[in-house]
Amino acid sequence: MKRISFALYITLVCISFAGPMLHAEKVKVLVAATFTEGMQPLVEQYPNLQLVSFSSSEEALREIGDADALVGLSAADPAGEFLKAGRKLKWMAHGSAGVEETLSDPRVRKADFILTNMKIIQGPQIADHAMALLLNLTRDLKHFNKKMETGWHRKADLPMIQLRGKTMLVVGLGGIGTQVAERAFAFGMRILAVDPKDIPYMRAVDYVGKPDELHELLAQADVVVNCTPHTPETEKMFGPLQFSLMKDGVYFINVSRGAIVDTDAFTAALQSGKVRAAGLDVVDPEPLPNDHPLWSMSNVTITPHLATLSDGRIEQYQKAFNDNVARFMSNRPLRNIVDKQKGY
């Protein structure tokens, strides 16, 4: 056997580890128009990367037949139709943490492709929003903002509550829940949590229970924050029984999905005083009918499902999408892969 030079050996080793980047075949990736320009540097790094921008589902469907991936999927996009038309489609990147609408199509759940989402990435701004909703209620800022129209007023509608020493229960200790826990811990709160996963020790969290411990932990909480994903298992998980088990005068914050809460039972708990006040970024149905009693309750603040918005959001998304496209092109494991059967 002839000996090969060291330089040739190194070249062969590099080729063997270079993965698909040395293949002549183009890798076609459809990218939502908002993120296409920010992905251009990847074309220089991966010469066989072909970026195709789309601004609508119709544009994506026209191009998806020979596409390898689609980046920037939304809940309104027909993911099942994309999979049907995309003969080579291996990966779709969702632009949201919650993917229940996309997974409601059985074709999506059964299809052999990778779905990624924005879990973890949206955590900081949504956690900020959760704490803003809570402080809005515990310091009765809603009342005083309204009273500014008529001048100086000393009397609050709701009691002024100190968070230090209070107990918060975070339901769903994922990318959002962990960030909420860190912020509440900084306020001097004791943090309990519920999550089906085995969570490593966290400085901020005193105890993490499994879902079968929810009822026991609800009874200990002064504040309950819902951060759990919407799945068939969590549908209306906060119902009449769960509200009855909570402390009298509990504060309830929901920054996940409205359908996790039984709206009728929740409204009744607010009307009875069982729930002292509530901050909601999500409701069910969404939006609520204009005549729904929640709109007129002075102890409720509703924001229109915008907790994910922030001045850094596009940059966060761009960085996450670019990182996963680079991983896809170099045949490395993708981040934030969704378990399509579990729903998150």
Which position among 305, 313, 327, 335 bears the catalytic label?
Answer: 305
Q: What is the model's pTM?
A: 0.89
CATH-assigned architecture of domain 123-302:
3-Layer(aba) Sandwich (3.40)
- How far is Cα of residue 106 from the mean position of the Cα atoms in its chain? 21
Which position among 37, 213, 216, 286 bears the catalytic label?
Answer: 286
User: Is the distance from CB of 181 to CB of 206 less than 8 angstroms?
Assistant: no
Q: 6-120+313-329: what fold?
A: Rossmann fold (3.40.50)
R_g of the chain computed on alpha carbons: 24
Which position among 129, 190, 257, 276 bears the catalytic label?
Answer: 257
User: Is the distance from CB of 73 to CB of 93 less than 8 angstroms?
Assistant: yes
Q: Where in the chain is the domain with CATH 3.40.50.720?
A: 6-120+313-329, 123-302
305 labelled catalytic: yes
- Other Cβ atoms less than 10 A from the Cβ of 191: the count is 26
- How far is Cα of residue 51 from the mean position of the Cα atoms in its chain? 26
User: If DSSP codes are grouped into helix, strand and coil, which group holds residue 113?
Assistant: coil
User: Is the distance from CB of 143 to CB of 157 less than 8 angstroms?
Assistant: yes
Least confident of 8-17, 144-153, 165-174, 324-333: 8-17
Residue 30 has, within 13 A of its CA and on its CB side, a CA count of: 28
Average pLDDT over residues 115-139: 96
Give the pair of three-digit tokens for residue 147: 């009273």
Answer positive or negative: Cα dihedral of 22, 26, 32, 33: positive
In the prediction, which pLDDT does 24 show?
Answer: 53
Per-residue pLDDT reduced to its tens digit, 298-332? 999 999 999 999 999 999 999 999 999 999 999 99
User: Is the distance from CB of 253 to CB of 226 less than 8 angstroms?
Assistant: yes
Helices 175-186 & 123-138 angle (0-180, nearest 10): 40
In the prediction, which pLDDT does 149 show?
Answer: 85
Per-residue pLDDT reduced to its tens digit, 204-257? 999 999 999 999 999 999 999 999 999 999 999 999 999 999 999 999 999 999
Cis peptide leading into residue 289 (ω within 30°): no
Share of the chain above pLDDT 70, in %: 93
286 labelled catalytic: yes
Helix (H) or strand (E) holding 40: helix 40-45
Average pLDDT over residues 331-343: 96
- How far is Cα of residue 322 from the mean position of the Cα atoms in its chain? 19
User: Is the distance from CB of 102 to CB of 94 less than 8 angstroms?
Assistant: yes
In the prediction, which pLDDT does 223 show?
Answer: 98
User: If DSSP codes are grouped into helix, strand and coil, which group holds residue 169?
Assistant: strand
Average pLDDT over residues 25-38: 97
257 labelled catalytic: yes
